C-alpha cells in the first residue's frame, strides 16, 4: 500500500510503519548535494550544542570471519527532526571478489513521542551520502585561508570515493588533475571509467604507488578498508596537502603528530584503534588535536595554512538520522510511502 501518511501521529498514537527502498532513497537524494551538505552542517551544529545523543558505536565481530563486522550506531537527534533511531551496517570485504558490494545497511527511525519505529530504510546509500556530504563540507571549511586544491587524489576506489567525488563535483569543486590509487588494478580502472563517464574534464592518472598519489595531490581522500596504518613516510606530505582521512586507519600516528588534526567528535574518533586513537596512546594525551569540524564551522578554531591538515571523521549516527529523516519526509510528501498494514498487531494491553 502507498500512502502519504507521515510519522507525526501524536502522543499515544501508534504511527504507521513504512519501508523505503534503495531506489526511493536514491531518488530522494539525487541532485540535492548542496542541500544535503547544508543539512549535515546544521546537524554538526546541533550535535555541538548538545541537542543530540550519540552513544559509542557497537562492533559485532566474528572469530571465524575476522575481516568482517556489523556495526550498530544508535542515536537521537533534536532540532526540527526530533527523531531517534539505529543504523545497522555490515562490512564484509570478501563480498567484493564475488561481485557483491562490501557494505549493506538498514536504518530504523523511531517516533519521538511513542518510541515506536515508523520506518525502515535501505541505508547503504544514506551512509555513503552522509559520509560524502561530511567530506565535502570539511573540504570547503578546511581549505579556507590556503590555496584551493586543484589536484585531488583518491586512495581507495569503492562506493565511498565515488560518492565523495560526486559531492565535490556537485558542490562547486573542479580539478586540474585527478589521481587514483588502489591495491586492485581492476578497481582503479573501474573508478577511472566512472570518472570519465561522469564528465570529469581534467587529466586522470592511475598511480602505481601511494607515494606518487600523495605527492601529486593537494587534496587526498583515503577511503580504504585498512585495519591498521600503512602510510608512515612524512616526506610524502612535505607539500602540506588537505587530507580527508575517511577510513580512519590509514595514517601512522607520526603523520598525525606532524599535522593539524580535525575530527567530527573527539571521544568517538579516539576509539577502536583509529589512527587518532593510536596517536593518543603513543603520546598519552590529546594535545595533537586542533579541534572539531563544528568548531571550525562556527569560527572557534582556525586551521593553519602552512601544515598538513587531516580530517578524521568517525561517522556519527546523528548524521544518518538527519539524512534518513530528510529522505522519509520527501517520500512521504510525494505520497509514495509503502506502509506495512498491521505491522504492529498486539495493541490492546489485555487483548
Residue 192 and residue 204: Cα distance in Å, rounded?
7
**pLDDT attached to residue 267:** 95
Domain boundaries, the chain: 2-126+317-339, 139-312
Name the band, by pLDDT with cuts 50, 70 and 90, for residue 7.
low
Same fold, 2-126+317-339 and 139-312: no
- The answer on pLDDT for 144 being more than 60 is yes
**pTM of the shown model:** 0.93
Q: What would the grid cell of residue 297 be?
A: 564551522
Count CA atoms closer than 13 A to 158's CA, side-chain side: 24
Count CA atoms closer than 13 A to 10's CA, side-chain side: 1
Q: Are 242 and 260 in contact (CB under 8 A)?
A: no
Q: Are 310 and 279 in contact (CB under 8 A)?
A: no
Q: What would the grid cell of residue 210 be?
A: 601511494
- The answer on pLDDT for 9 being more than 60 is no
Task: Encode pLDDT of 58-113 as tens digits.
Answer: 999 999 999 999 999 999 999 999 999 999 999 998 998 898 999 999 999 999 99
Q: Length of the chain in residues, anyone?
A: 351
- What is the fold of 139-312? Rossmann fold (3.40.50)
Name the band, by pLDDT with cuts 50, 70 and 90, for residue 5.
very low
Name the band, by pLDDT with cuts 50, 70 and 90, for residue 3.
very low
Q: What contacts 256, CB < 8 A, 6 or more positions away?
A: 275, 276, 279, 288, 310, 312
Place of cell 537521537: 76
Name the band, by pLDDT with cuts 50, 70 and 90, for residue 4.
very low
Please count the other Cβ atoms lying within 10 Å of the Cβ belonging to residue 32: 16
Q: Are 106 and 351 in contact (CB under 8 A)?
A: no
Give how far Cα 106 sits from Cα of 21, 237, 317, Å: 10, 38, 12
- What is the fold of 2-126+317-339? ornithine cyclodeaminase, domain 1 (3.30.1780)
Task: Encode pLDDT of 191-246 as tens digits.
Answer: 999 999 998 889 999 999 999 999 999 999 999 989 899 999 999 999 999 999 99
Residue 105 and residue 87: Cα distance in Å, rounded?
7
Residue 153 and residue 151: Cα distance in Å, rounded?
7
| In the chain, % of residues over pLDDT 90 | 89
Task: Encode pLDDT of 154-189 as tens digits.
Answer: 999 999 999 999 999 999 999 999 999 999 999 999
Amino acid at each position: 500500500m502507498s500512502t502519504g501518511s507521515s510519522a507525526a501521529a501524536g502522543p499515544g498514537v501508534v504511527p504507521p510503519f513504512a519501508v523505503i527502498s534503495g531506489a526511493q532513497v536514491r531518488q530522494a537524494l539525487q541532485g540535492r548535494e548542496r542541500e544535503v551538505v547544508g543539512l549535515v552542517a546544521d546537524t554538526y551544529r546541533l550535535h555541538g550544542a548538545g541537542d543530540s545523543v550519540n552513544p559509542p558505536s557497537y562492533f559485532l565481530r566474528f572469530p571465524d570471519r575476522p575481516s568482517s563486522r556489523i556495526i550498530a550506531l544508535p542515536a537521537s537527534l533534536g532540532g526540527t527532526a526530533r527523531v531517534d533511531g539505529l543504523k545497522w551496517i555490515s562490512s564484509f570485504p570478501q563480498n567484493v571478489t564475488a561481485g557483491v558490494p562490501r557494505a549493506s545497511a538498514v536504518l530504523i527511525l523511531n517516533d519521538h513521542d511513542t518510541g515506536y519505529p515508523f520506518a525502515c530504510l535501505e541505508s547503504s546509500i544514506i551512509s555513503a551520502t552522509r559520509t560524502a556530504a561530511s567530506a565535502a563540507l570539511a573540504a570547503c571549511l578546511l581549505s579556507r585561508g590556503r590555496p584551493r586544491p586543484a589536484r585531488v587524489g583518491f586512495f581507495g576506489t569503492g562506493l565511498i570515493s565515488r560518492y565523495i567525488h560526486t559531492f565535490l563535483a556537485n558542490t562547486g569543486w573542479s580539478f586540474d588533475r585527478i589521481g587514483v590509487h588502489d591495491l586492485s588494478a581492476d578497481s582503479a580502472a573501474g573508478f577511472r571509467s566512472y570518472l570519465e563517464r561522469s564528465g570529469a574534464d581534467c587529466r586522470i592518472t592511475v598511480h602505481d604507488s601511494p607515494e606518487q598519489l600523495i605527492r601529486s595531490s593537494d587534496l587526498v581522500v583515503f577511503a580504504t578498508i585498512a585495519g591498521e596504518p600503512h602510510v608512515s613516510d612524512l616526506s610524502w606530505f612535505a607539500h602540506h596537502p588537505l587530507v580527508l582521512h575517511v577510513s580512519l586507519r590509514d595514517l601512522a600516528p607520526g603523520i598525525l603528530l606532524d599535522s593539524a588534526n580535525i575530527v567530527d567528535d573527539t571521544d568517538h574518533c579516539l576509539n577502536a584503534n583509529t589512527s587518532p586513537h593510536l596517536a593518543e596512546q603513543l603520546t598519552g594525551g590529546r594535545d595533537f588535536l586542533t579541534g572539531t569540524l563544528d568548531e571550525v564551522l562556527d569560527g572557534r578554531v582556525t586551521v593553519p595554512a602552512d601544515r598538513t591538515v587531516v580530517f578524521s571523521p568517525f561517522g556519527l549516527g546523528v548524521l544518518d538520522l538527519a539524512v534518513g529523516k530528510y529522505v522519509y519526509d520527501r517520500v512521504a510528501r510525494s505520497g509514495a510511502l509503502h506502509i506495512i498494514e498491521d505491522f504492529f498487531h498486539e495493541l490492546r494491553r489485555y487483548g
